[in-house]
């Protein structure tokens, strides 16, 4: 899968922050999220400031509160709704690091 497809899927998730429900849910959320794509050999990250995400940047952040590791096809499938995040996680196609409350909250954006 192309790098641009992975970035497009990341941007789709970040667009989900713009819904009224997400703005209420994430209004106090200030986190750095990293996305490592094993098939691309690249990491991208975004900074969420009070529920508003920055643009996607290439590279490993200084400190990530949440880190998602997967391949670009799995990530695109999750964001398209072809595979659930939970199914990808239980089949070891998706690895996540972060606090459980943050991960549960983040799951709402992955639809």
In this prediction, residue 2 has a pLDDT band, given cuts at 50, 70 and 90, of confident
Indicate whether 1 pLDDT > 70: no
The domain segmentation of the chain, as residue ranges, is 3-109
- Output the pTM of the full model: 0.90
What CATH number does domain 3-109 carry, 3.30.70.1400, 3.40.50.2300, 3.30.1050.10, 3.90.1150.10?
3.30.1050.10
The CA radius of gyration of the chain, in Å to the nearest whole number, is 13
- At 60-111, the pLDDT tens digits run 999 999 999 999 999 999 999 999 988 999 999 999 999 989 988 888 887 6
Indicate whether 30 pLDDT > 60: yes
Measured in whole angstroms, the distance separating CA 84 from the mean position of its chain's CA atoms is 13
Tokens of residue 71, six digits: 């391949």
Measured from the Cβ of residue 56, the count of other Cβ atoms closer than 10 Å reads: 17
């Amino acid at each position: 899968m192309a790098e641009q497809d992975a970035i497009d899927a990341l941007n789709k998730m970040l667009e989900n922050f713009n819904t009224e429900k997400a703005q209420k849910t994430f209004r106090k959320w200030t986190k750095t999220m990293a996305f490592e794509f094993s098939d691309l050999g690249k990491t991208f990250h975004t900074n969420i400031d009070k529920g508003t995400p920055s643009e996607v940047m290439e590279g490993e952040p200084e400190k990530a509160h949440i880190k998602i590791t997967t391949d670009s096809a799995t990530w695109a499938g999750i964001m398209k709704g072809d595979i659930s995040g939970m199914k990808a996680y239980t089949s070891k196609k998706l690895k996540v690091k972060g606090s459980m409350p943050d991960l549960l909250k983040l799951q709402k954006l992955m639809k």
